[in-house]
A and B are shown apart, each in its own frame.
Chain A
């Protein structure tokens, strides 16, 4: 095989693998990305029922109700609007009223949010970055507040 042929083979191979990788990436991106929304987005922009989103905000104080068989209802608020959330399962350790939380799931036709996972970070000062941003937009974040997430580690509750 000449040098030129070898180089062509190499380039062909590389392009082939790159092509496979690119098409896999595009295919996966089209199917598995999740948009992040604040409660205001959900209320005002009328998110389509059945679309998978991440909803982030604070767990509204006084809204947590625990039912039978690990059913939990609570509201996620960004200070302007709040969205009722239903979840069945074990909640993360740092799930508390007034704390930042990100829930993932769908908006049901009755405008209630059905979460299949609840994420909270493992730190007492923690606030998810998206939540902090959205609160800042609403003017509800004060610079003197505890700094979000130091040494934070993952914690999820998944049904």
Chain B
């Protein structure tokens, strides 16, 4: 397919998006069903054209059409098939196209499955979505056209950055983008509600599945990115408080708060105005993240090209959407009717606390990320705010949140019984204390706080399990009753338990890795043996190897565990031939959930090599915990009461909710 077709498809999509951003909303204002009805088909058409453009670019990558500049800059004919595909979004232009594709996909989903939405709400939502699409399509066509031709066409491409040639990074951006862009749905619903001037529990019931979907993908994306950094970059860390990481963490924190406040709104018709604000803020933070990563204003090590034109364009998008939606909020929010009274000690009270701490933590990350930029803009001073800042602010704000998190699901709506809940949690508290003492007794070294956090994590896991156990009357009722109660328990309750337990699992991984890791940097000659954490590693020497598009210098290490041979580790220094770019390939040995991590330095002329050895206890629990969280989200999403587009009639719904209490 010719790249010009792709370019033309984008222009047509822009034309459709312009129609969609005006006509339906005008129709909603005039209460004209025909005008409102245009939104659906136009959204589907828009998605079809963006998808066509994306297919054209993918095709150009597949056949290595180097007459397209974007393909020339980021691909190579010797590249394996999967990286030829992932190369499409492994660069600025292609990744923005993916961004718009996902945006258009979400619009198309509303158009296709939004039959139960009130017609005017659906029209408004699709129009608002389309405003975003227009902005980003203009951005692509004006500053980042992926279909620019090169003449004469070069014979060979410049290859994809070798660090991105990894399965982890092939799927990481799509996951992250579905998360980022997914929150545009809650944004569009919020703005549509503000335009309408009315909002109710049904609104929350509509928004929550979309927010949950976005949240799941964002969680998976962040986790994947962290795992990739851990095994691929060779520095042995999994989180650096890098601005680009923060750019994805901020919408995650706000989105997590949104998920929880939407529950309060759905069940108790309270926190309406706050939920709408959170929906706006979450997507604003997604946009901010895009701006930070794409504009080059950051000194982050991930940031893309320094290009003032792009930066200014995205900044303009940012100002229009964040400024515009907040102004609309200030103007219209007072018209939304508040409802629902509650006591501080109640389920909703716990969720309010959750929201307070999550947003405060988000604000702390925000300050740490943007303060250096603001300071440089205002005074010219260049500073860097490093991991200590975030550990000092983010950590303490998370602790009360984690304590409240366990209490929340036990508390009743309206008014809870704190003492009663504490009694029911005795086992969890006891287990936490026991775990803390056990951790204190069995570990040496590491900070004093580490056993406390391990205790906290075990208390969280136990608390989540006990909550489910109580509801299905485990150990109290006959097995058959337990089984039927377990089957009857709403999936969202299982989801909550899984997601919360996942946080505890992740916490154990984090503490294990940071507090008890062992680290050794040595220079070894062939034949020399080094020991770490009960492993003996004998360096046998350096061996050159050839890959499809790279050359390796492999350091071969025989591993012994207590004198018994336990395999070979092959960390390598790899040079990608097309760009003459070196990378470090760490070698990992997994034992349960702990890992031995060996990363090579530069080989010296005398045949010796510097090695960085890490023993990372429990490290895999970090990502296993996030998998639990995502799985919990999936369970919740599969709950019939939450199914997208199927709000039940009021009477049946009331019964279902009562049964769930």
Contact = CB atoms under 8 A, between A and B. Distances in A.
> What bracket does the count of chain A residues touching chain B fall in?
35 or more
Contact of B163 (A1, A20, A122, A128): A122
Query: Which has the most chain A C-beta neighbours within 10 Å: B352, B356, B573, B599?
Result: B356
Given A29-B389, A149-B306, A130 B164 contact: no
B367 interface: yes
Interface in A118-141: 119, 121-124, 128-130, 132-133
B582 A20 contact: no
B299 A129 contact: yes
Contact of B386 (A9, A34, A154): A34
Nearest to B297: A129
A32 B364 contact: no
B163 A153 contact: yes
A153 B235 CA distance: 12
Nearest to A93: B582
A122 B161 contact: yes
Contact of B235 (A3, A18, A36, A158): A158
Contact of A149 (B303, B352, B385, B392): B303
Interface string B381-392: 111111011101
Given A9-B344, A124-B579, A147 B360 contact: no
B393 A17 contact: no
B582 A94 contact: yes
Contact of A33 (B344, B389, B393, B397): B389
A54 interface: yes
A131 to B, nearest CB: 10
Contacts of B383: 33-36
Contacts of A157: 235
Contacts of B242: 154
A105 B368 CA distance: 20
B83 to A, nearest CB: 13
Contacts of A91: 601-602
A90 B386 contact: no
Given A69-B523, A93-B582, A36 B384 contact: yes
A121 B502 CA distance: 33
Contacts of B521: 70, 89-90, 159
Contacts of A28: 368, 388-390, 392-393
A32 B298 CA distance: 19
B650 interface: no
A28 B121 CA distance: 45
Interface in A87-129: 89-91, 93-94, 119, 121-124, 128-129
B543 interface: no
B531 interface: no
A20 B360 contact: yes
Interface string A45-63: 0000000001000000000
Contacts of B465: none
B322 to A, nearest CB: 21
A147 B385 contact: no
A25 B367 contact: yes
A154 to B, nearest CB: 4
Contacts of B397: 17, 20-21, 24
B360 A17 contact: yes
B642 to A, nearest CB: 27
B301 A21 contact: no
B363 interface: yes
A17 B355 CA distance: 10
B584 interface: yes
Given A24-B364, A32-B392, A151-B91, A6 B612 contact: no
A90 B384 contact: no
A33 B371 CA distance: 10
Contacts of A31: 388, 392
A21 B610 contact: no
Interface in B571-585: 573, 579-584
B305 A150 contact: yes
A10 interface: yes
Nearest to A128: B299
Contacts of B35: none
Contact of A123 (B92, B161, B235): B161
B568 interface: no
Query: Which has the most chain B C-beta neighbours within 10 Å: A1, A32, A133?
Result: A32
A149 B304 contact: yes
B141 interface: no
B599 to A, nearest CB: 8
B229 A6 contact: no
B293 to A, nearest CB: 11
A121 B341 contact: no
Contact of A13 (B356, B364, B396): B356
Contact of A93 (B392, B396, B583): B583
A27 B610 CA distance: 38
Contacts of A119: 301
Contacts of A77: none
Contacts of B396: 20, 24
Contacts of B582: 93-94
B404 to A, nearest CB: 11
B301 A155 contact: yes
A148 interface: yes
A55 B491 CA distance: 54
A7 to B, nearest CB: 10
A159 B521 CA distance: 8
A156 interface: yes
Contact of A24 (B233, B392, B604, B612): B392
A65 to B, nearest CB: 13
Interface string B327-367: 00000000000000111100000001100110011011001
Contacts of B581: 94, 122-124
15 contacts: A17-B397, A18-B360, A21-B363, A21-B364, A68-B523, A90-B599, A90-B601, A90-B610, A91-B602, A122-B581, A123-B581, A150-B304, A152-B302, A152-B304, A154-B233
| A-B interface, 8 closest residue pairs, ranked by CB to CB distance from nearest | A36-B382, A90-B601, A32-B388, A28-B392, A21-B360, A154-B301, A17-B356, A28-B389
Given A18-B360, A28-B390, A124-B581, 7 more contacts: A20-B397, A24-B392, A54-B384, A123-B581, A151-B92, A152-B303, A153-B233
